[in-house]
């Protein structure tokens, strides 16, 4: 058996086109759209020799692989490392990187904590915080939409909703980024992330303990499940950790990318101003259009086929969600940001049993922010060209100086 | 193709030819049935695909999982014994003629 990037190099069929590309090349990570287009063009699957893996980027096949948890498992890691042959950088997530039946147990608990009902109770406080922040930004006029808005808002409301009492903005945002970089190959991004982990992880772990959490919040609901005997005390801590690793950087990115979409498409922003109820659809379409999580992996658990293409057992498959979400086969005018589109079924939040369990929270945060922006901001102007921050799994802005003009 | 019927709250009914393997939610979305939103795309996370299944089909459906049961507590319209999430019902030949009533509101 041969190993590449800590997974098994399987003998894939010669019919699958070979493409010697590095999906983790910094330039591709910063500007992935041409890579997405070529990936779809070359075939339903391509074989990438340097990583001995398959990649898919057409909608139908990507959806099939990403959602069929029996044939394409998550328990062997959603990054390049195959947990059945190598050790992950930290104990794997007990919801993202496990399969049923165990997954059902943890997922039930975390889904309860983040249910539509639990989230709707936060609506008013999210709206109040969003209004305060946007008022401040309107006074300042020109600011960095990444640090001052996209990071500032989730860091203000999300850890508090979990029940954290201590807020360390850098640790919270970077913890997610480190975890997502860990999903890539052994490159500079992953190494730098791991080097940073030793500073962040102890703080995060301490915040996940029962004693550290407020008596009400997502965290408390999870610990209540431990009291009821559904999960252990240790598992409760692990699930709270999952919230912090998956819930900050992703939402930061989703909000930032939506501002970018609106700044780049003033016509769509006018529609949002005319009807602030489009705040949620504007965010949803930005998720489709920019895919904050650009790709995650699966591992084939048996010899199988997708759309007639043979896939050997043990193969790592990179599911390029960002590409599937721009596939012309699925989306009309796929390359346009249109807030009135109803992009139901996009893959930005995953699909099926692992579909994002935090999506109600993400949407509630975005709805709060973009509703106030719709009501109070007259125009969003880019001050200079935004820059993107390469990450092995996240497509996020690094900085974006903008000006908010009053109505 | 399997024929399924969506009966909206105002009493109008629409028969749809659903593909086997699709979910009842997907069949509604791809056929433009208004009373179903399906915001989460079928991950049992949003409760906006709530339907009331006609009595005759209740026993033919896959059993309720814990996750679906939990989420049915979050529907906007009242939960009844016939309540299910359309995204958790895969269409099979055995479901030909299935009819569901759509609630007054989903969100
Ligand atoms: C715009 C923001 C977000 C995006 C783009 C996003 C994206 C995703 C994606 C693509 C998946 C599927 C992973 C897979 O199938 O392998 C996922 C799962 C997950 N997300 Fe999110 N997410 C966001 C916000 C959140 C928030 C706010 C939380 C926490 C409150 C969260 C917690 C999780 C967890 C715990 C999972 C694993 C669920 C499972 O495996 O059953 N996410 N997310
Ligand atoms: S589509 Fe969201 S619960 Fe069914």
Give which of B21, B22, B39, B68 to mutate to test A binding, by max A Cβ within 10 Å: B39
CA–centroid distance, A81 to ligand 1, in Å, is: 19
- Give mean pLDDT, residues A313-342: 97
Question: What's the pLDDT tens digit per position in B22-68?
Answer: 999 999 999 999 999 999 999 999 999 999 999 999 999 999 999 99
Of A128, A180, A171, which is closest to residue A153 (Cα–Cα)? A128
* Ligand 1 atom closest to residue A255's alpha carbon, by position in its atom list: 1
- Across the interface, of A108, A353, A359, the residue whose CB is closest to B40 is A359
Q: Which domain holds residue A335?
A: 3-406
Burial group, residue A245, by CB count within 10 angstroms (0-12, 13-18, 19+): buried
- Candidate from B45, B47, B74 with C-beta closest to A359: B45
Task: Give the pLDDT band of residue A342 (cuts 50, 70, 90).
Answer: confident
CATH of the domain at A52: 1.10.630.10
In the reported structure, the alpha carbon of residue B25 is separated from the centroid of ligand 2 by a whole-number distance in angstroms of: 8
Question: Residue B5: helix, strand or coil by DSSP?
Answer: strand
Question: Could A346 and B71 be called an inter-chain contact, meaning their C-beta atoms sit closer than 8 Å?
Answer: no
Q: Which of B29, B41, B65 sits opposite A351 (nearest CB)?
A: B41
Q: Whole-angstrom Cα distance, residue A54 to residue A407?
A: 50
> What value does the mean pLDDT take over residues B76-104?
96
> In sequence order, which residues have a C-beta less than 8 Å from that of residue A252 and are 6 or more positions away?
A146, A150, A151, A154, A155, A173, A176, A396
Q: Which residues of B touch A60 (CB under 8 A)?
A: none
Q: What is the DSSP letter of A83?
A: T
Number of domains in chain A: 1
Going by C-alpha positions, the residue among B47, B52, B42, B53 that lies closest to residue B107 is B47
Q: How far apart, in whole angstroms, are the C-alpha atoms of residue A258 and residue A111?
A: 25
pTM for the full predicted model = 0.96
Q: Does B66 touch chain A (CB under 8 A)?
A: yes
pLDDT in tens, A126-136: 999 999 999 99
Per-residue pLDDT at A284: 97
CA torsion angle A97 A99 A100 A104 (round to 10) = 10
Interface-testing mutation among A117, A344, A366, with chain B (most B C-beta atoms within 10 A): A344
Cβ(A361) – ligand 1 distance below 6 Å: yes
Q: Which pLDDT does position A90 carry in this prediction?
A: 83
ipTM for the whole complex: 0.88
């Amino acid at each position: 058996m041969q190993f590449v990037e800590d997974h098994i190099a399987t003998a894939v069929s010669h019919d699958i086109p070979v493409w010697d590309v590095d999906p983790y090349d910094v330039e591709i990570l910063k500007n992935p759209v041409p890579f997405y287009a070529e990936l779809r063009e070359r075939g339903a699957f391509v074989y990438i020799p340097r990583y001995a893996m398959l990649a898919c980027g057409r909608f139908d096949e990507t959806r099939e692989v990403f959602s069929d948890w029996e044939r394409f498992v998550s328990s062997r890691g959603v990054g390049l490392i195959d947990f059945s042959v190598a050790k992950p950088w930290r104990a794997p997530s007990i919801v993202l990187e496990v399969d049923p039946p165990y997954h059902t147990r943890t997922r039930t608990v975390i889904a309860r904590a983040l249910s539509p009902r639990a989230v709707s109770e936060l609506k008013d406080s999210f709206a109040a915080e969003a209004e305060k922040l946007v008022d401040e930004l309107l006074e300042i006029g020109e600011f960095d939409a990444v640090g001052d808005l996209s990071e500032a808002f989730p860091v203000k409301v999300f850890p508090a909703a979990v029940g954290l009492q201590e807020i360390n903005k850098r640790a919270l945002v970077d913890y997610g980024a480190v975890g997502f970089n860990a999903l890539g190959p052994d490159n500079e991004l992953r190494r730098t992330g791991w080097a940073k982990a030793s500073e962040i992880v102890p703080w995060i772990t301490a915040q996940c303990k029962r004693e550290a959490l407020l008596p009400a919040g997502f965290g408390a609901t999870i610990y209540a499940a431990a009291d009821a005997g559904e999960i252990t005390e240790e598992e409760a801590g692990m699930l709270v950790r999952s919230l912090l690793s998956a819930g900050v950087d992703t939402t930061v990115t989703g909000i930032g990318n939506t501002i970018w979409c609106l700044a780049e498409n003033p016509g769509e922003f006018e529609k949002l101003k005319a009807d602030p109820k489009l705040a949620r659809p504007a965010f949803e379409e930005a998720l489709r259009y920019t895919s904050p999580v650009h790709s995650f992996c699966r591992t084939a658990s048996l010899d199988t086929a997708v759309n007639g293409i043979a896939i050997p057992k043990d193969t790592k498959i990179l599911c390029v969600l960002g590409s599937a979400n721009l596939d012309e086969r699925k989306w009309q005018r796929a390359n346009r940001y249109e807030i009135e589109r109803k992009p139901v079924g996009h893959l930005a939040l995953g699909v099926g049993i692992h579909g994002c369990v935090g999506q109600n929270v993400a949407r509630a945060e975005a709805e709060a922010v973009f509703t106030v922006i719709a009501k109070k901001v007259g125009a969003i102007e880019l001050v200079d060209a935004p820059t993107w921050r390469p990450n092995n799994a996240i497509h996020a802005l690094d900085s974006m100086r903008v000006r908010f003009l009053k109505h | 193709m399997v024929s399924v019927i969506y009966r909206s709250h105002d009493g109008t009914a629409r028969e749809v030819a659903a593909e086997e393997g699709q979910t009842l939610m997907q069949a509604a979305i791809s056929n433009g049935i208004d009373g179903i939103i399906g915001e989460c795309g079928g991950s049992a996370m949003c409760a906006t695909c709530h339907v009331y299944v006609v009595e005759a089909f209740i026993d033919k459906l896959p059993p309720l999982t814990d996750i679906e049961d939990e989420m049915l507590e979050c529907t906007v319209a009242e939960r009844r014994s016939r309540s299910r999430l359309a995204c958790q019902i895969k269409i099979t030949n055995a479901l030909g003629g299935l009819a569901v009533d759509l609630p007054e509101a989903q969100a």
